[in-house]
Amino acid sequence: MSTLLETLRSRGLLHDVTPGLGDRLAGGPITGYVGFDPTADSLHVGNLVPVMALVWLQRHGGHPVALIGGGTGLVGDPSGKRNERPMLSAETVEANAAGIQRQLAQFLDFGGANAARLRNNLDWLRELSLLEFLRDTGKHFTVNYMLQKDSVKSRMDSGISFTEFTYMLVQAYDYWHLHQEIGCELQMGGSDQWGNITAGIELIGRRESKEAHGLVLPLLTTSSGAKFGKSEGGNVWLDPARTSPYKFYQFWLNAEDADAERFLKTFTTAAQAEIAAVMSAHSGDPGKRGAQRFLARDVTSRVHGAETTDRVIAASEVLFGSRDLKAADDATLAVVAAEVPTITVPRSRLEAGIAIVDALVETGLAASKADARRGIQGQGFSVNGAKAAADQVLGPDSLLGGRYVALQKGRRSFAFLQAD
């Protein structure tokens, strides 16, 4: 049976560890935590790397702790940032923390023998007095020690506030508090967190004369060198209100071939042998994008559920021409309608009849009625998957699922009329 370190290393998820962690893991289950900054009410796909570290910790018998930074989120972590973050209100941070907690429950088991736990550092930081913090934490660190940390050093030219300068001490206090409260001995995070993590180890060593450990994960980039987790519209969020399940699925489906195996190892719990089999089949016919389909289904199902994933796959097949529109069920049509230009028309107008040329112009598929007529003559437009006729009139009998009329230009440009 592999150890946590062997699993993370084999899946490309190990960047660095503190000495002695391997020996400690061999001695029995360990409690480890990852902190999540509540600067938004949702995690994004970039956050999934440390989430998966907690998943593997739990699978290896460890006790994972997800720490929501309700307190530190009021300060802001300077790590990897060129400028100071805008300060958020306590109400905003609280709402963001609640959203993140709900999403973490999709990955971690919060019941059972090695149940995951949620903590919010606002619970103890709000009670901490300045004098107590300076006496029990600040005295253990010199300014020279703090200036050597990359998170501080990288900001010296552009400027760093005292608030952000002390962030590493607040995070170190969190580690010490969790060590005291629940026996936490391991902190994990991205490689840019190394300085903050080692500060916590230092504090535990100085205050308690005990050993603690750190493990950092690589900061993921794509094969082209771009920062992972970005799309044309910005971050790819786990919240369906921010990134639709369809767009979420498409993000993974559009992964480059050069990234597919690495992403399978990073973001799924599929066994290495299964990943090897998927990649072998993929290399035999890359055009089918078998590796990306496996990846997209796996991650989307975990985040949005199997039923929703089936719907977005069906919608994808409709939009890319491999599924007949008329065979799509109501739920699939609703997913498609949310992803294409859709205009709402009164049912009374449909009952009176809408000329096809008017519908094409109103939905933006044609620039003008003349453009619509030329396109129809050239068989470039379709209604519900069938070629449009110049004299066609759309009515109640044109509705799919009793609600939609699907208009199409060529193979990939869709627009919907939605009856209200």
Dump the DSSP string for 177-239. HHHHHH---EEEEEGGGHHHHHHHHHHHHHHH----EEEEEPPPB-TTSPBTTEETTEE-BSS
Bridge partners, 216 (sequence order): 16, 189
Over range 168-186, report the average pLDDT: 95
Task: Show the tokens assigned to 306.
Answer: 């199997």
Could you identify the residue written with the tokens 């498409």? Answer: 250
Residue with tokens 């029995």: 28
Q: What is the pLDDT of residues 351-365, one digit of tens each?
A: 999 999 999 999 999
> Of 39-48, 155-164, 269-278, 320-329, which one has max mean pLDDT?
269-278
| pLDDT tens per residue across span 117-176 | 999 998 999 899 999 988 998 898 888 777 877 767 776 767 777 777 788 899 999 999
Q: Specify the pLDDT at position 230.
A: 61
Instruction: List, in sequence order, every residue forming a beta bridge with 234; answer none if it has no partner.
Output: 231
Is residue 221 within 8 A of residue 250, CB to CB? The reply is no
Cα distances (angstroms) measured from residue 393 to each of 81, 186, 337, 379: 57, 68, 21, 16
Sheet strand arrangement including 386-387: 342-345, 413-419, 404-409, 381-383, 386-387
Check pLDDT > 70 for residue 191: yes
User: If you average pLDDT over residues 89-103, what whole number do you get?
Assistant: 84
| pLDDT above 60 for 1 | no
Return the closest-CA partner of residue 414 out of 393, 400, 402. Answer: 400
As a whole-number percent, the residues of the chain with pLDDT over 70 amount to 94
Output the six-digit token pair for 309.
């994933």
Three-state SS sequence of 237-257: ECCCCCCCHHHHHHHHHCCCH
Quickly state the pLDDT bin for 112 (edges 50, 70, 90).
confident
Rounded distance, CA 33 to CA 28, Å? Answer: 16
Radius of gyration (Cα) for the chain, nearest Å?
Answer: 26
Q: What is the DSSP letter of 390?
A: T
CB-CB contact of 140 with 133 (8 Å): no
Judged by average pLDDT, the poorest of 59-63, 103-107, 144-148, 388-392 is: 144-148
CA distance 152 to 176: 21
Whole-angstrom distance, CA of residue 93 vs CA of residue 235 = 19
Question: H/E/C letters for each residue in 34-45?
Answer: EEECCCCCCCEH
Confidence bin at 236 (pLDDT 50/70/90)? very high
Rounded (5°) CA angle 142-147-151:
125
Rounded CA separation 164/181 (Å): 26
pLDDT above 90 covers a percentage of the chain that reads: 68
What is the mean pLDDT of the segment spanning 20-27? 95
Position 398 pLDDT exceeds 90: yes
- Residue 86 token pair: 């805008």
Whether the CB-CB separation of 360 and 374 falls below 8 Å is answered with: no
Helix residue spans in 268-368 (DSSP H): 272-284, 290-304, 306-319, 330-339, 347-352, 356-362
Q: How confident is the model at residue 77 (pLDDT cuts 50, 70, 90)?
A: low
Maximum average pLDDT range among 116-130, 205-219, 325-339: 205-219
Please name the residues in contact with 373: beta carbons below 8 A apart, sequence gap of 6 or more. 357, 390
Can you tell me the distance from the alpha carbon of 117 to that of 403, in angstroms, rounded to the nearest whole number?
A: 45
Phi-psi region of 385 (alpha: psi -120 to 50; beta: other; left: phi over 0): left
Domains of the chain (ranges plus CATH)?
Answer: 4-217 (3.40.50.620), 230-304 (1.10.240.10), 339-419 (3.10.290.10)
Backbone torsion region of residue 286, taken as left when φ is above 0, otherwise alpha when ψ lies between -120 and 50, otherwise beta: alpha
Mean of all residue pLDDT scores within the chain: 90
**Is residue 304 a contact partner of residue 382, using CB atoms and an 8 Å limit?**
no
Sign of the four-CA dihedral 338, 339, 343, 349:
negative
